[in-house]
A and B are shown apart, each in its own frame.
Chain A
Amino acid sequence: MPDQPAPNWNRFVRERLPALPVAPAREAEIIEELAGQLEEAYQEALARGLNDAAARDTAERQFSPDEALKLSREIAAASPARRPPAIPGFAGGGARPFSGIAADVRFALRQLLLNPYFASFAILLAALGVGANTAIFSVVNAVLFRPLPYENPAQLVAIETRAVADPSLEPWTSYLDYVDLRARTRSFERIAAISPVWNVVIRAEGETERLETLFATAGIFPLLGVRPRLGRVFTEQEDQQGRPAPVAVLSHSYWMRRFRRDPGVIGRTLAIEDRSITVVGVLPESFRYHGLTPGAAQGEIDLWVPLSANPLMSRGREVRFLKVAGRLNPGVSAAQAAAELDAFGRAMAAQYPDSNRGLATSVRPFVDLATGRVRTALLVLLGVVGLVLLIACASLANLLLARAAGRSREIAIRIAMGASRARLLRQLVTESMVVAALGGLAGAGLAHFMVRAILRFAPATLPRKEEIAVDPQSLGFLLCASIVTGLVAGLAPAFQAWRGELYDSLKDGARSTPAGAQRLRAALVVVEVAVSVILLSAAGLLVHSFARMLGSDPGFRAAGLVTLSTQNPASVSTPAQRAALYRALEERIAALPGVEGVAAVSRLPLMGVNLGSMIQIEGRTFERGQQPEVEYRRSTPGYFATMGIPILKGRAFDERDSDPRNQVVVINEALARKFFPAEDPVGRRIALGPVTNTPRWITIIGVAGSVRHSGLDLEAPPEVYQPYAYSPMTAPILVVRASEARLPEIRAAVRAVNPGIALYNAYSMPQLLDRAVTPRRFPMLLLAGFALLALVLAAAGLYGVIAQGVEQRSREIGVRMALGAARGDVLRMVLRGGLRLAAAGIAVGFAGSFAVTRLMSTMLYEVSPRDPLTFTLAPLVLLLVAIAASVIPAARASRIDPAVILRGA
C-alpha cells in the first residue's frame, strides 16, 4: 500500500459538519477541538497496532455523518442566539423565512472552498456564459436598443423618394421636391435636408487638409434637438437659396484637433477652397450625425455649412442629391405620414412626369438609417450568445448534478432527519446562485475585456461605436443573466431532490447516481450537442460566405498597388490648368524608382463612393423614368493597365481621345452583357443623362472587365468609363503600381509639384480590400468563436456523462467481462451509449439549425441558408467530437479487471 499523507482531521470535520450558528471564530475553535480529539483517537488506534487504514476508520467512526448533523443541531439548540434553522437542510424555526440564508451562503461558500477544482470550473462556466452575453449585450444595447441621442428620437423619420422599379437603389431627393415636401405636407413638425459634400479642402495656418463636410438646411439642428456647445448654429436667413452666408459650424473633435479647444474660435475665418467662411459655432462633444449612407463620409463630420452653398441647389428636379429627414407632428403616426407622402408622391408624379414618374415617396424610422444595416447581424449575434449561455447553464447544471450525486448520502440523511424538501431545495439553489454570483463577478471582468477587443476589431463602419461600453445597463443585464444562470443551473439538482430520488438512493444503500439523475444529465448533454450543431452551422455558413467573398475576383490586381486621394488647390481652376497639374504629377511620380505605372480616376473601387448616370442606347427607346442607370467613372488612359483591369474587346483610351466634340467610352463587361448580349458593342453608340430629343451620342471603343466597385460581395453593376481629358478632375484619385513602402516618396513628389494639393486616404490596395471584408469578417469571427466554445463545452459535457456512466457501471461491466464479454464488446457498448446521446443531439440540432439559419440569409454571400456543405460538416464535426469524447471512458471501461471489481464489491 502506498504511503498516504497524514490525515487532515480539520478538513475532515469541516467537510462533515454543517455550518454552525455561531461566530466564525468560535466555529473554527469547535472544529479544531473536535479535530484534535479525532487525531487522538487515530494516534491511539495506531498505538494499539492497527494499520493506517483501520486507524483512520476507527477515528472516523467517532464522527459519523449522522452524529455530525445531530451535533450541529444540538449546538444550535444550546446556542444563546437561537437562530432557528441554522443548519442547512433542517426544518425548524421558520419565524423568519430568510434567517437561514446567510448560513446557506456560508455553507455553499465553504463547499466551494473545499472543492477548488469543481469550484473553479463551475465559476469559469458561469463567467464565460454571463461575460460573453454581457459583452454582446453592451454592444447591441448601445447600437440598437438605446434610443438615438436626439430629442424624442421616436418621432424622427427619414423621408425617402425611391424608384419604384428598383427599390434597392439608394434614395435621393431633388431640392425642388424638398421645397414642395415642406410646403405641401402636414404630417411633419419640421423637415430638414442634408447633402454630402465630397471633398472640401481647408487651408488654415498654411497647412492643407481635407475635411468631412456636410451641406445642411438650417433646420437640421433644431430637428435633432442639438444645441451648440459654443456660439450658435446657422439660421434660415443664412441659408437662403442663391444667397448662402459664408458661415460654418465645427464638430467638437475638429475644434479640439485644430483649435485646441480655443473658445476664441467663434468669429474666426477659415479659408475653404477659394472662399473664406466664418466659424459661428461648435457642436457638443457627444453629437454624431447618424443619418449618413455608409461611405458618404470616412468618419465624423468636421464641418457643417448651409445647404444653399451647394451649387446643385439651382439644378432641376432630375438632380437628386439630398437626404431628407423630418419630425412627425405630435399625434401623427408613421403610417399616417406614409399615407400622406404616398399621395404627395403621386401628385408630384402627375404634375412633373418628366422628372418624377416612377418615383414613390415614403417614410422610414430615422433609426433605420443609423443602424438598419447592422440590425440582423447584431440580433443574430445576441441570439447566438444567448445559446452559448444556454450551453453554459446546461454544463453547469450537469456539474451540479454530478456533485449532488456524490453528496446524495448527505442529502438523504438530511431528509431522513426531518429537513423539508423546500428547505433542501433552497440550499441547493443557494449553492448554484453562489456559483452564478461569483461567475457573474468574473464575467464582468471578462465582458470588459471582450468589449475592448470588440471595439478594437469592429469595422469602422459600425454605427454608434463611440457609445459602446460596459455601462450600468450592461451591469443590470449581467445581474439578471447571473440570476437566471443560477436558477436554471440549480433547477436540475433541485428538481432531483424534490422528486426524492436522492432519498431513494440512501435506501438502496448504493453509492450510484439514481437513474433519474443520469437521465436528466443525458438530456442536458443532448441539449448541449443540439445547440452546438446550431451554432456550428451558423458559423459554418458565415465562414463559407466569407471564403466565397475572399475568393471572388475584385476585377483588378490589388497586390502591389497603392492609392492616394488628392484635391487640387483653388488656384488651379481652369480645365487646362487641372490637366497640366495632373500631367506634372504623373511625370514626377512615374520617374520615382520602383513605380511601374501611374493613373488617376474619379472614384476608386471599394471606397464606398460611386456616381451614377442614366443612359440611352442608340436604336432603343426607354420611357422616361424607366431609363437604366449605370456607374460612371472618368479615368486617365493608363488606368486600366495600372489597375490590372483587362480590356476584353476593342481598346482602352489613349492620348488621342481628348476631343470633347468626338467623345468615346469604355464600357464594362456587365453592361455589355446586359444591353448587348448577342452583339459586339464596340462601335455602337450610347448617350449619358436623361432622355432628350437631341442625344449626344458617344461611341463605345472597348469593353473592360467588370470591377466590384461597391464591395467584394456585390455583383459589379453596368458601368461606363470616359477619358478624364474631357473634363479634368479637381480631385483625382491616384493609383500607383508600386509597393506600399513607396508611399512617403509619392507624397513627397506630390508636394514637390504643388504644396497646395491636399492629400488624404493613402492606402495600399490590399488594405482597402481588407477593409471591405471587415464588416463580414467581424460577425463571422465572433460567431465562430462562440461556436467553438459551445463545441468544447458540449464535448466536456458528453465526456463527463459517459465517464460517470462507466464508473457507475464498472461492477456491471466487471460482471459482464467475468461472464465472457470481450474487451471489444465493452468498448463498443460504451461507445454506443455516447453516440446515442450525440445522435439525438445532432438530430435535434440539425432540425433547429434549419430554422435558425433561415434568419441569416441577408448575412450570407453566394451561400444558401441550406448550404449542403455546412449542413454535412457541422453534424460530422459533432459526431467526431462525440467519438473522441466517448473513446477515453470506453477504453478505460474495457481495461476494467473483473477480478478487482468483483473482489472490491
Chain B
Amino acid sequence: MKPRQDVPRGLPEMLVLSLVEERARHGYEIAKFIEVRSGGELQYHVASLYPILYRLEQRGWIQGRWVEKPGERRRRFYRITASGRKALGAQRQSWKDFVDAIERIAPFRHA
C-alpha cells in the first residue's frame, strides 16, 4: 500500500496540532500515530515531518521540551500552546466548512 502524495496544503499542520492537543508527544510518536490512525494512507518520514514541527514551533503554536528518562536517549516532547489551540480551532472550523461544502455538492454517502 502506497501512502498518499497529494495531501492538501495546511493539512499536516492541523494533524500534528490535534495529535499534540491530546497530550505531549515526541516526533517519531507523532509520525507513527499519523501512519497508524490513517491506516497507512498518510505517512511521514522523519525528515519530512521535522520541518512541520519546526515551523509550528517557530510560530509559537507548539512548544518542544527535552525529556530525559534514565537509560534512554533524551527525547523532545511537543505540547500545544494557547495560541496553538486557538489556531487549531480556527483550522478545524475551516476544514469543517470545507468538508460540509463538498458534502453538499458531492455527498460522500447516500443517506
Give CA–CA (A34, B27) in the complex, Å.
9
Contact A80 B47 (CB under 8 A): no
Give CA–CA (A70, B47) in the complex, Å.
9
Q: Is A741 an interface residue (CB 8 A)?
A: no
Contact B48 A70 (CB under 8 A): yes
Give CA–CA (A79, B54) in the complex, Å.
9
Q: Is A504 an interface residue (CB 8 A)?
A: no
Partner of B46, one of A29, A38, A79: A38
Min CB distance B7 to A, Å, is 15
A40: chain B residues at CB < 8 Å are 28
In the complex with contacts A39-B73, A71-B51, A34-B46 CB distance below 8 A: yes
B47: chain A residues at CB < 8 Å are 34, 62-64, 67-68, 70-71
Contact B50 A34 (CB under 8 A): yes
A36: chain B residues at CB < 8 Å are 26-28, 73-76
Binary B-proximity of A32-51 (CB < 8 A = 1, otherwise 0): 11101111110000000000
- What is the number of contacts between chain A and chain B, taking CB atoms within 8 Å? 60
Min CB distance A70 to B, Å, is 7
Q: Is B5 an interface residue (CB 8 A)?
A: no
A32: chain B residues at CB < 8 Å are 74
Q: Is A905 an interface residue (CB 8 A)?
A: no
Using CB atoms, name the residue of chain A closest to B48.
A67
B54: chain A residues at CB < 8 Å are 30, 74-75, 78
B96: chain A residues at CB < 8 Å are none
Q: Is B86 an interface residue (CB 8 A)?
A: no
Using CB atoms, name the residue of chain A closest to B44.
A62
In the complex with contacts A61-B45, A63-B45, A37-B58 CB distance below 8 A: no
In the complex with contacts A33-B76, A74-B54, A79-B58, A41-B28 CB distance below 8 A: yes
Min CB distance A72 to B, Å, is 9
Using CB atoms, name the residue of chain B closest to A73.
B51
Min CB distance A738 to B, Å, is 82
Using CB atoms, name the residue of chain A closest to B30.
A37
Min CB distance B60 to A, Å, is 11
Min CB distance B17 to A, Å, is 16
Partner of B55, one of A61, A62, A63, A78: A78
Binary A-proximity of B23-57 (CB < 8 A = 1, otherwise 0): 00011100100000000000001111011001100
* Residues 37-94 of B at the A interface (beta carbon under 8 Å): 45-48, 50-51, 54-55, 58, 73-76
Contact A62 B46 (CB under 8 A): yes
Contact A64 B73 (CB under 8 A): no
Give CA–CA (A431, B90) in the complex, Å.
48
A29: chain B residues at CB < 8 Å are 76
Give CA–CA (A220, B93) in the complex, Å.
102
Identify whether the interface residues of A are mostly helix, strand, loop, or mixed. helix
Give CA–CA (A63, B31) in the complex, Å.
13
Contact B27 A37 (CB under 8 A): yes
Which has the most chain A C-beta neighbours within 10 Å: B26, B50, B58, B75?
A: B50
Partner of B51, one of A38, A39, A62, A74: A74
Give CA–CA (A34, B51) in the complex, Å.
11
A80: chain B residues at CB < 8 Å are 58
Identify whether the interface residues of B are mostly helix, strand, loop, or mixed. helix
B58: chain A residues at CB < 8 Å are 78-80
Contact A37 B51 (CB under 8 A): no
Give CA–CA (A39, B28) in the complex, Å.
10
B28: chain A residues at CB < 8 Å are 36-37, 40-41
Min CB distance B101 to A, Å, is 30
Using CB atoms, name the residue of chain B closest to A74.
B51
Give CA–CA (A37, B77) in the complex, Å.
12
Min CB distance A829 to B, Å, is 44
B27: chain A residues at CB < 8 Å are 33, 36-37
Min CB distance A74 to B, Å, is 4
A64: chain B residues at CB < 8 Å are 45, 47
B73: chain A residues at CB < 8 Å are 36, 39
Give CA–CA (A68, B76) in the complex, Å.
19
* Residues 57-111 of A at the B interface (beta carbon under 8 Å): 61-64, 67-68, 70-71, 74-75, 78-80
Contact A78 B45 (CB under 8 A): no
Give CA–CA (A821, B43) in the complex, Å.
50
Contact B50 A62 (CB under 8 A): no
A78: chain B residues at CB < 8 Å are 51, 54-55, 58
B46: chain A residues at CB < 8 Å are 34, 37-38, 41, 62-63
A33: chain B residues at CB < 8 Å are 27, 50, 75-76
In the complex with contacts A75-B51, A79-B58, A67-B45 CB distance below 8 A: yes
A34: chain B residues at CB < 8 Å are 46-47, 50
A75: chain B residues at CB < 8 Å are 51, 54
Min CB distance A33 to B, Å, is 5
Using CB atoms, name the residue of chain A closest to B64.
A33
Give CA–CA (A70, B50) in the complex, Å.
11
Give CA–CA (A67, B47) in the complex, Å.
6
Give CA–CA (A419, B58) in the complex, Å.
26
B45: chain A residues at CB < 8 Å are 61-64, 67
A67: chain B residues at CB < 8 Å are 45, 47-48
Min CB distance A41 to B, Å, is 7
Using CB atoms, name the residue of chain A closest to B55.
A78
Give CA–CA (A641, B55) in the complex, Å.
100
Which has the most chain A C-beta neighbours within 10 Å: B28, B58, B75, B76?
A: B28
Min CB distance A324 to B, Å, is 83
* Residues 384-419 of A at the B interface (beta carbon under 8 Å): none
B55: chain A residues at CB < 8 Å are 74, 78
Give CA–CA (A521, B97) in the complex, Å.
64
Which has the most chain B C-beta neighbours within 10 Å: A32, A37, A68, A80?
A: A37
B48: chain A residues at CB < 8 Å are 67, 70-71
A63: chain B residues at CB < 8 Å are 45-47
B51: chain A residues at CB < 8 Å are 70-71, 74-75, 78
Give CA–CA (A71, B46) in the complex, Å.
10
Give CA–CA (A62, B45) in the complex, Å.
5
Binary B-proximity of A352-394 (CB < 8 A = 1, otherwise 0): 0000000000000000000000000000000000000000000
A70: chain B residues at CB < 8 Å are 47-48, 51
* Residues 17-34 of A at the B interface (beta carbon under 8 Å): 29-30, 32-34
Give CA–CA (A64, B51) in the complex, Å.
14
A30: chain B residues at CB < 8 Å are 50, 54
Min CB distance A259 to B, Å, is 75
Give CA–CA (A63, B50) in the complex, Å.
10
Give CA–CA (A37, B28) in the complex, Å.
5
Using CB atoms, name the residue of chain A closest to B27.
A37
Using CB atoms, name the residue of chain B closest to A17.
B47
Give CA–CA (A70, B54) in the complex, Å.
13
Give CA–CA (A80, B60) in the complex, Å.
12
Using CB atoms, name the residue of chain A closest to B53.
A33
Give CA–CA (A61, B47) in the complex, Å.
9
A62: chain B residues at CB < 8 Å are 45-47
Give CA–CA (A78, B74) in the complex, Å.
25
B26: chain A residues at CB < 8 Å are 36-37
Give CA–CA (A37, B47) in the complex, Å.
9
Give CA–CA (A464, B94) in the complex, Å.
87
30 CB < 8 A contacts A-B: A30-B50, A30-B54, A32-B74, A33-B50, A34-B46, A34-B50, A36-B26, A36-B27, A36-B73, A36-B75, A36-B76, A37-B27, A37-B28, A37-B46, A38-B46, A41-B28, A41-B46, A62-B45, A62-B46, A63-B47, A67-B48, A70-B47, A70-B48, A70-B51, A71-B47, A71-B50, A74-B54, A75-B51, A78-B55, A78-B58
Chain A interface (Cβ < 8 Å from any Cβ of B): 29-30, 32-34, 36-41, 61-64, 67-68, 70-71, 74-75, 78-80
Q: Other CB < 8 Å A-B pairs besides A37-B27, A74-B55, A78-B54, 9 of them?
A: A29-B76, A36-B75, A36-B76, A37-B50, A61-B45, A62-B45, A63-B46, A74-B54, A78-B58
Sort A-B residue pairs by CB-CB distance and give the 9 closest, nearest first: A67-B47, A74-B51, A62-B46, A37-B28, A37-B46, A40-B28, A63-B47, A62-B45, A78-B55
